[in-house]
Amino acid sequence: MMKNLMNRRILLGVSGGIAAYKSAELIRRLQDLGADVRVVMTRAAQEFITPLTLQALSGNPVHVDLLDPAAEAAMGHIELARWADLIVVAPASADVIARLTLGKGDDLLTTVCLARRCDLVVAPAMNEAMWHNQTTQDNLQVLKQRGIQQIGPASGGQACGDVGMGRMSEPSQLAVEIANCFESGELAGKTVMITAGPTREAIDPVRYISNHSSGKMGYALAQAAVDAGAKVVLVSGPTTLACPEHVERIDVVSAQQMYDACMSRVQDADIVVASAAVADFRPVTVAEQKMKKTGQETMTIEMVKNPDIVASIAALETAPFVVGFAAETNDVIAYAKYKMQRKKLNMIIANDVSDASIGFNTDHNAVTVLTADTQQTLPEASKFQLAQSIVTAISKELTNGPSS
Protein backbone atom coordinates (compact mmCIF):
# COMPACT_ATOMS: atom_id res chain seq x y z
CA MET A 1 0.00 0.00 0.00
CA MET A 2 1.31 3.41 -0.96
CA LYS A 3 2.21 5.50 2.07
CA ASN A 4 0.09 8.57 2.69
CA LEU A 5 -0.30 11.31 5.26
CA MET A 6 -3.60 12.74 4.04
CA ASN A 7 -5.24 14.98 6.62
CA ARG A 8 -2.30 14.49 9.03
CA ARG A 9 -0.91 17.45 10.96
CA ILE A 10 2.85 17.26 11.34
CA LEU A 11 4.67 19.77 13.55
CA LEU A 12 8.30 19.83 12.40
CA GLY A 13 10.87 20.96 14.95
CA VAL A 14 14.16 22.14 13.47
CA SER A 15 17.18 22.41 15.77
CA GLY A 16 20.67 23.75 15.13
CA GLY A 17 22.99 21.84 12.83
CA ILE A 18 24.11 21.76 9.23
CA ALA A 19 21.44 19.10 8.56
CA ALA A 20 18.83 21.84 8.97
CA TYR A 21 19.05 22.36 5.22
CA LYS A 22 17.43 18.92 4.80
CA SER A 23 14.37 20.13 6.68
CA ALA A 24 13.35 22.14 3.63
CA GLU A 25 13.18 19.00 1.50
CA LEU A 26 11.50 17.06 4.32
CA ILE A 27 8.65 19.58 4.31
CA ARG A 28 8.14 18.94 0.60
CA ARG A 29 8.25 15.15 0.99
CA LEU A 30 5.68 15.29 3.81
CA GLN A 31 3.44 17.54 1.73
CA ASP A 32 3.77 15.17 -1.21
CA LEU A 33 2.20 12.51 1.02
CA GLY A 34 -0.65 14.88 1.92
CA ALA A 35 0.47 16.24 5.30
CA ASP A 36 -0.27 19.72 6.66
CA VAL A 37 3.10 20.90 8.01
CA ARG A 38 3.90 23.64 10.51
CA VAL A 39 7.40 24.47 11.69
CA VAL A 40 9.05 25.41 14.99
CA MET A 41 12.71 26.50 14.87
CA THR A 42 15.28 26.96 17.60
CA ARG A 43 17.51 30.04 17.61
CA ALA A 44 20.46 27.90 16.57
CA ALA A 45 18.52 26.49 13.61
CA GLN A 46 18.02 30.02 12.28
CA GLU A 47 21.80 30.32 11.88
CA PHE A 48 21.69 27.56 9.27
CA ILE A 49 18.41 28.19 7.42
CA THR A 50 15.99 31.10 7.54
CA PRO A 51 12.42 30.97 8.85
CA LEU A 52 11.32 32.67 5.61
CA THR A 53 12.54 29.69 3.59
CA LEU A 54 10.57 27.19 5.66
CA GLN A 55 7.54 29.48 5.75
CA ALA A 56 7.53 29.67 1.95
CA LEU A 57 7.78 25.89 1.66
CA SER A 58 5.24 24.99 4.35
CA GLY A 59 2.76 27.71 3.48
CA ASN A 60 2.39 28.50 7.19
CA PRO A 61 4.06 30.99 9.55
CA VAL A 62 7.18 29.60 11.21
CA HIS A 63 7.19 29.74 15.01
CA VAL A 64 10.46 30.74 16.67
CA ASP A 65 9.88 32.51 20.00
CA LEU A 66 8.42 31.10 23.21
CA LEU A 67 7.22 34.46 24.50
CA ASP A 68 6.12 36.12 21.27
CA PRO A 69 2.92 38.08 22.18
CA ALA A 70 1.61 37.96 18.60
CA ALA A 71 2.13 34.21 18.34
CA GLU A 72 0.59 33.55 21.74
CA ALA A 73 -2.47 35.57 20.74
CA ALA A 74 -2.92 33.43 17.63
CA MET A 75 -1.48 29.92 17.84
CA GLY A 76 0.62 29.80 20.98
CA HIS A 77 2.70 26.92 22.25
CA ILE A 78 -0.21 25.08 23.85
CA GLU A 79 -2.32 25.41 20.71
CA LEU A 80 0.58 24.17 18.59
CA ALA A 81 0.89 21.12 20.82
CA ARG A 82 -2.86 20.46 20.59
CA TRP A 83 -2.85 21.02 16.81
CA ALA A 84 -0.26 18.38 16.00
CA ASP A 85 -1.03 14.74 15.27
CA LEU A 86 2.71 14.05 15.43
CA ILE A 87 5.76 16.12 16.38
CA VAL A 88 8.98 15.38 14.47
CA VAL A 89 12.29 16.94 15.50
CA ALA A 90 14.54 16.78 12.44
CA PRO A 91 17.35 17.44 12.77
CA ALA A 92 17.52 16.60 16.48
CA SER A 93 20.86 17.87 17.74
CA ALA A 94 22.68 16.36 20.72
CA ASP A 95 21.72 19.49 22.69
CA VAL A 96 17.98 19.20 21.95
CA ILE A 97 18.05 15.47 22.73
CA ALA A 98 19.69 16.27 26.10
CA ARG A 99 17.13 18.98 26.88
CA LEU A 100 14.22 16.70 25.95
CA THR A 101 15.65 14.07 28.28
CA LEU A 102 15.79 16.57 31.16
CA GLY A 103 12.26 17.79 30.48
CA LYS A 104 13.44 21.31 29.72
CA GLY A 105 10.98 23.95 28.56
CA ASP A 106 13.42 26.79 27.94
CA ASP A 107 12.49 27.49 24.33
CA LEU A 108 9.45 27.08 22.10
CA LEU A 109 10.43 23.67 20.70
CA THR A 110 11.05 21.97 24.05
CA THR A 111 7.95 23.61 25.55
CA VAL A 112 5.75 22.32 22.74
CA CYS A 113 7.24 18.85 23.20
CA LEU A 114 6.41 19.01 26.93
CA ALA A 115 2.85 20.15 26.25
CA ARG A 116 2.10 17.57 23.57
CA ARG A 117 -0.56 14.88 23.73
CA CYS A 118 0.61 13.23 20.50
CA ASP A 119 3.62 11.05 19.74
CA LEU A 120 7.11 12.50 19.35
CA VAL A 121 9.76 11.39 16.86
CA VAL A 122 13.42 12.48 16.84
CA ALA A 123 15.79 12.22 13.88
CA PRO A 124 19.28 12.63 15.35
CA ALA A 125 21.95 14.57 13.44
CA MET A 126 25.42 15.30 14.84
CA ASN A 127 29.12 14.69 14.56
CA GLU A 128 30.03 11.00 14.83
CA ALA A 129 32.05 11.56 18.03
CA MET A 130 29.06 13.28 19.65
CA TRP A 131 26.85 10.42 18.48
CA HIS A 132 29.07 7.81 20.10
CA ASN A 133 29.44 9.78 23.34
CA GLN A 134 27.96 7.72 26.15
CA THR A 135 25.90 10.65 27.42
CA THR A 136 24.14 10.96 24.07
CA GLN A 137 23.46 7.24 23.97
CA ASP A 138 22.14 7.30 27.54
CA ASN A 139 19.84 10.20 26.68
CA LEU A 140 18.45 8.38 23.66
CA GLN A 141 17.82 5.29 25.77
CA VAL A 142 15.83 7.39 28.25
CA LEU A 143 13.74 8.87 25.42
CA LYS A 144 13.10 5.38 24.05
CA GLN A 145 11.90 4.20 27.47
CA ARG A 146 9.46 7.12 27.47
CA GLY A 147 7.98 6.01 24.17
CA ILE A 148 9.69 8.61 22.00
CA GLN A 149 10.56 7.12 18.62
CA GLN A 150 13.90 7.51 16.86
CA ILE A 151 14.51 7.49 13.12
CA GLY A 152 18.14 7.20 12.02
CA PRO A 153 20.81 8.35 11.99
CA ALA A 154 22.70 7.10 8.94
CA SER A 155 26.39 6.60 8.40
CA GLY A 156 28.50 8.53 5.90
CA GLY A 157 30.55 11.62 5.27
CA GLN A 158 29.90 14.60 7.51
CA ALA A 159 30.29 18.35 7.06
CA CYS A 160 33.26 18.40 9.43
CA GLY A 161 35.12 15.87 7.27
CA ASP A 162 34.62 12.91 9.58
CA VAL A 163 33.00 9.70 8.34
CA GLY A 164 30.66 7.67 10.53
CA MET A 165 27.28 7.52 12.25
CA GLY A 166 25.41 10.73 12.83
CA ARG A 167 24.06 11.88 9.46
CA MET A 168 20.37 12.72 9.51
CA SER A 169 18.34 10.22 7.50
CA GLU A 170 17.45 11.38 4.01
CA PRO A 171 14.14 13.28 3.76
CA SER A 172 12.52 10.74 1.44
CA GLN A 173 13.25 7.92 3.90
CA LEU A 174 12.16 10.05 6.85
CA ALA A 175 8.82 10.81 5.20
CA VAL A 176 8.11 7.09 4.74
CA GLU A 177 9.10 6.30 8.32
CA ILE A 178 6.92 9.15 9.60
CA ALA A 179 3.97 7.72 7.65
CA ASN A 180 4.68 4.35 9.27
CA CYS A 181 4.21 5.95 12.70
CA PHE A 182 0.47 6.11 12.05
CA GLU A 183 0.10 2.42 11.15
CA SER A 184 -0.70 0.31 14.21
CA GLY A 185 -2.13 -2.91 12.73
CA GLU A 186 -4.58 -3.05 15.66
CA LEU A 187 -7.53 -3.90 13.40
CA ALA A 188 -5.67 -5.89 10.75
CA GLY A 189 -8.03 -8.18 8.84
CA LYS A 190 -11.17 -6.49 10.19
CA THR A 191 -13.89 -4.76 8.19
CA VAL A 192 -15.17 -1.57 9.82
CA MET A 193 -18.31 0.29 8.80
CA ILE A 194 -18.48 3.90 10.01
CA THR A 195 -21.33 6.37 9.75
CA ALA A 196 -20.44 10.05 9.67
CA GLY A 197 -21.85 13.53 9.28
CA PRO A 198 -25.41 14.83 9.50
CA THR A 199 -28.55 13.70 7.72
CA ARG A 200 -30.95 16.04 5.95
CA GLU A 201 -34.70 15.49 6.15
CA ALA A 202 -36.49 17.29 3.32
CA ILE A 203 -39.47 19.59 3.95
CA ASP A 204 -39.80 20.62 0.30
CA PRO A 205 -37.40 20.75 -2.68
CA VAL A 206 -35.59 23.71 -1.09
CA ARG A 207 -35.71 23.31 2.69
CA TYR A 208 -34.62 20.57 5.05
CA ILE A 209 -34.11 19.78 8.74
CA SER A 210 -30.54 18.96 9.79
CA ASN A 211 -27.96 19.56 12.53
CA HIS A 212 -24.50 21.02 13.10
CA SER A 213 -22.45 17.86 12.58
CA SER A 214 -19.43 18.42 10.32
CA GLY A 215 -18.49 14.74 9.97
CA LYS A 216 -14.92 15.42 11.15
CA MET A 217 -15.03 12.80 13.92
CA GLY A 218 -16.33 10.08 11.61
CA TYR A 219 -13.77 10.87 8.93
CA ALA A 220 -10.99 10.87 11.53
CA LEU A 221 -12.20 7.46 12.69
CA ALA A 222 -12.14 6.20 9.10
CA GLN A 223 -8.53 7.33 8.75
CA ALA A 224 -7.54 5.82 12.09
CA ALA A 225 -9.19 2.51 11.19
CA VAL A 226 -7.30 2.40 7.86
CA ASP A 227 -4.07 3.10 9.75
CA ALA A 228 -4.95 0.18 12.03
CA GLY A 229 -5.09 -2.14 9.02
CA ALA A 230 -8.86 -2.38 8.59
CA LYS A 231 -10.96 -2.39 5.45
CA VAL A 232 -13.22 0.63 5.90
CA VAL A 233 -16.66 1.44 4.53
CA LEU A 234 -17.71 5.02 5.31
CA VAL A 235 -21.43 5.80 5.05
CA SER A 236 -21.47 9.58 4.96
CA GLY A 237 -24.13 12.22 5.16
CA PRO A 238 -23.54 15.55 3.38
CA THR A 239 -20.12 17.04 4.23
CA THR A 240 -17.39 19.02 2.51
CA LEU A 241 -14.63 16.70 3.76
CA ALA A 242 -12.23 14.81 1.52
CA CYS A 243 -12.56 11.06 1.84
CA PRO A 244 -9.44 9.41 3.32
CA GLU A 245 -7.49 7.26 0.89
CA HIS A 246 -8.21 3.52 0.83
CA VAL A 247 -11.71 4.12 2.22
CA GLU A 248 -14.90 3.14 0.38
CA ARG A 249 -17.38 5.98 0.80
CA ILE A 250 -21.14 5.63 0.32
CA ASP A 251 -22.84 9.02 0.08
CA VAL A 252 -26.34 9.40 1.52
CA VAL A 253 -28.58 12.33 2.43
CA SER A 254 -31.46 11.22 4.63
CA ALA A 255 -31.66 8.97 7.68
CA GLN A 256 -33.64 6.40 5.68
CA GLN A 257 -30.94 6.33 3.01
CA MET A 258 -28.27 5.89 5.69
CA TYR A 259 -30.28 3.07 7.26
CA ASP A 260 -30.68 1.31 3.90
CA ALA A 261 -26.98 1.66 3.06
CA CYS A 262 -25.90 0.34 6.46
CA MET A 263 -28.26 -2.62 6.46
CA SER A 264 -27.13 -3.61 2.96
CA ARG A 265 -23.47 -3.78 4.06
CA VAL A 266 -23.61 -4.74 7.73
CA GLN A 267 -23.29 -8.47 7.03
CA ASP A 268 -19.69 -7.84 5.91
CA ALA A 269 -18.72 -5.78 8.97
CA ASP A 270 -16.86 -6.98 12.03
CA ILE A 271 -17.19 -3.56 13.68
CA VAL A 272 -19.73 -0.77 13.23
CA VAL A 273 -19.00 2.71 14.57
CA ALA A 274 -22.08 4.92 14.41
CA SER A 275 -20.71 8.44 14.73
CA ALA A 276 -23.23 10.13 12.41
CA ALA A 277 -25.68 12.65 13.86
CA VAL A 278 -28.84 11.04 12.49
CA ALA A 279 -32.14 12.93 12.60
CA ASP A 280 -34.57 11.24 14.99
CA PHE A 281 -37.61 12.40 13.01
CA ARG A 282 -38.52 13.39 9.45
CA PRO A 283 -41.55 15.18 7.97
CA VAL A 284 -44.47 12.84 7.24
CA THR A 285 -44.89 14.40 3.81
CA VAL A 286 -42.49 16.30 1.57
CA ALA A 287 -44.05 19.05 -0.51
CA GLU A 288 -43.51 18.59 -4.23
CA GLN A 289 -43.10 22.34 -4.76
CA LYS A 290 -41.49 25.04 -2.65
CA MET A 291 -43.85 25.94 0.18
CA LYS A 292 -45.01 29.57 0.03
CA LYS A 293 -45.73 32.00 2.83
CA THR A 294 -49.46 32.60 2.91
CA GLY A 295 -49.67 35.15 5.68
CA GLN A 296 -49.82 32.74 8.62
CA GLU A 297 -47.66 33.46 11.67
CA THR A 298 -47.00 29.80 12.52
CA MET A 299 -46.44 26.56 10.68
CA THR A 300 -46.97 23.02 11.86
CA ILE A 301 -44.98 20.16 10.35
CA GLU A 302 -46.06 16.65 11.30
CA MET A 303 -43.06 14.42 11.95
CA VAL A 304 -42.56 10.65 11.96
CA LYS A 305 -39.79 8.71 13.67
CA ASN A 306 -36.80 7.61 11.60
CA PRO A 307 -35.40 4.08 11.88
CA ASP A 308 -32.85 3.67 14.66
CA ILE A 309 -29.77 2.59 12.73
CA VAL A 310 -27.42 1.64 15.56
CA ALA A 311 -30.11 -0.18 17.56
CA SER A 312 -31.21 -2.11 14.46
CA ILE A 313 -27.66 -3.27 13.83
CA ALA A 314 -27.07 -4.24 17.48
CA ALA A 315 -30.33 -6.27 17.44
CA LEU A 316 -29.21 -8.47 14.56
CA GLU A 317 -28.84 -12.17 15.35
CA THR A 318 -25.21 -12.08 14.20
CA ALA A 319 -24.46 -8.51 15.22
CA PRO A 320 -20.96 -7.06 14.81
CA PHE A 321 -19.15 -5.17 17.57
CA VAL A 322 -21.24 -1.99 17.75
CA VAL A 323 -20.00 1.40 18.93
CA GLY A 324 -22.44 4.26 19.41
CA PHE A 325 -22.05 7.96 20.15
CA ALA A 326 -23.95 10.02 22.70
CA ALA A 327 -23.84 13.78 22.14
CA GLU A 328 -25.42 15.29 25.24
CA THR A 329 -25.77 18.72 26.84
CA ASN A 330 -26.26 17.60 30.45
CA ASP A 331 -25.83 14.46 32.59
CA VAL A 332 -23.59 13.22 29.80
CA ILE A 333 -22.31 9.99 31.37
CA ALA A 334 -25.66 8.93 32.82
CA TYR A 335 -27.48 9.42 29.53
CA ALA A 336 -24.71 7.67 27.60
CA LYS A 337 -24.80 4.62 29.87
CA TYR A 338 -28.58 4.43 29.55
CA LYS A 339 -28.35 4.66 25.76
CA MET A 340 -25.71 1.93 25.65
CA GLN A 341 -27.82 -0.43 27.76
CA ARG A 342 -31.11 0.36 26.02
CA LYS A 343 -29.69 -0.16 22.54
CA LYS A 344 -27.48 -3.11 23.57
CA LEU A 345 -24.25 -1.55 22.33
CA ASN A 346 -20.79 -2.92 23.05
CA MET A 347 -19.30 0.55 23.53
CA ILE A 348 -20.42 4.16 23.52
CA ILE A 349 -18.50 7.40 23.11
CA ALA A 350 -19.95 10.22 25.22
CA ASN A 351 -19.27 13.87 24.57
CA ASP A 352 -20.61 17.13 25.94
CA VAL A 353 -21.84 19.26 23.04
CA SER A 354 -22.86 22.13 25.32
CA ASP A 355 -19.25 23.37 25.13
CA ALA A 356 -19.11 25.32 21.86
CA SER A 357 -15.28 25.28 21.82
CA ILE A 358 -15.18 21.53 21.15
CA GLY A 359 -17.38 19.01 19.39
CA PHE A 360 -19.56 20.06 16.45
CA ASN A 361 -17.69 21.91 13.68
CA THR A 362 -14.40 22.06 15.58
CA ASP A 363 -11.11 20.22 15.13
CA HIS A 364 -10.91 19.19 18.80
CA ASN A 365 -13.05 17.27 21.22
CA ALA A 366 -12.97 15.57 24.61
CA VAL A 367 -14.86 12.33 25.13
CA THR A 368 -15.43 9.44 27.51
CA VAL A 369 -15.26 5.86 26.23
CA LEU A 370 -17.72 3.58 28.03
CA THR A 371 -18.28 -0.16 27.99
CA ALA A 372 -20.34 -2.27 30.36
CA ASP A 373 -17.28 -2.63 32.61
CA THR A 374 -15.00 0.31 31.91
CA GLN A 375 -14.91 4.09 31.69
CA GLN A 376 -12.00 5.94 30.07
CA THR A 377 -11.83 9.72 29.85
CA LEU A 378 -9.95 11.10 26.85
CA PRO A 379 -8.97 14.74 27.46
CA GLU A 380 -9.24 17.45 24.83
CA ALA A 381 -7.20 16.63 21.75
CA SER A 382 -7.52 16.72 17.98
CA LYS A 383 -10.27 14.53 16.62
CA PHE A 384 -7.67 12.40 14.84
CA GLN A 385 -5.83 11.75 18.12
CA LEU A 386 -9.13 10.85 19.77
CA ALA A 387 -9.94 8.56 16.84
CA GLN A 388 -6.64 6.74 17.33
CA SER A 389 -7.44 6.26 21.03
CA ILE A 390 -10.95 5.02 20.24
CA VAL A 391 -9.57 2.50 17.73
CA THR A 392 -7.11 1.29 20.36
CA ALA A 393 -9.97 0.92 22.88
CA ILE A 394 -11.99 -1.10 20.35
CA SER A 395 -9.01 -3.31 19.59
CA LYS A 396 -8.40 -4.01 23.29
CA GLU A 397 -12.06 -4.80 23.86
CA LEU A 398 -12.08 -7.24 20.93
CA THR A 399 -8.88 -8.88 22.15
CA ASN A 400 -9.66 -9.08 25.86
CA GLY A 401 -13.44 -9.11 25.89
CA PRO A 402 -15.48 -7.78 28.79
CA SER A 403 -13.77 -7.98 32.16
CA SER A 404 -15.29 -10.39 34.63
How far from the centroid of its chain's Cα atoms is residue 246's Cα? 16
Residues 185/395, Cβ–Cβ less than 8 Å: no
**Torsion, CA 86, CA 190, CA 236, CA 209, rounded to 10:** -110
The tens-digit pLDDT sequence of the chain (404 residues) is 446 787 789 999 999 999 999 999 999 999 998 899 999 999 999 999 999 999 999 999 999 987 666 555 555 667 888 889 899 999 999 999 999 999 999 899 999 999 998 899 999 999 999 999 999 999 999 999 999 999 999 887 766 667 678 899 999 999 999 988 887 789 999 999 999 999 999 999 999 999 989 999 999 999 999 999 999 999 999 999 999 888 999 999 999 999 999 999 999 999 999 999 999 999 999 988 988 877 778 888 899 999 999 999 999 999 999 999 998 888 899 999 999 999 999 999 998 877 776 656 677 889 999 999 999 999 888 888 899 999 999 999 998 865 43
Structure confidence by residue, pLDDT tens digits, 343-352: 999 999 998 8
Structure confidence by residue, pLDDT tens digits, 323-345: 999 988 888 999 999 999 999 99
DSSP-assigned letters across all residues of 279-310: -SEEESS--SSPPPP-S-S-----EEEPP-HH
Amino acid at 201: E
Residues 153/168, Cβ–Cβ less than 8 Å: yes
Quote the Cα angle for 52-54-56, to 5°.
Answer: 65
Structure confidence by residue, pLDDT tens digits, 6-48: 778 999 999 999 999 999 999 999 999 889 999 999 999 999 9
As annotated, the active-site residues are 160
Structure confidence by residue, pLDDT tens digits, 114-161: 999 889 999 999 999 999 999 999 999 999 999 999 999 988 776 666
pTM recorded for the entire structure? 0.76
Quote the Cα angle for 328-333-377, to 5°.
Answer: 105
Q: In terms of Cα–Cα distance, which of 22, 61, 70 is closest to 40?
A: 61
The strand ranges marked E within 287-371 are: 303-305, 321-328, 347-352, 364-370
Distance linking the first and last C-alpha atoms of the chain: 39
Domains and CATH numbers, the chain: 9-180 (3.40.50.1950), 191-400 (3.40.50.10300)
Collapsing DSSP to helix, strand or coil, 273 comes out as: strand
pLDDT at 363: 78
Collapsing DSSP to helix, strand or coil, 324 comes out as: strand
Cα(168)–Cα(185) distance, rounded to whole angstroms? 28
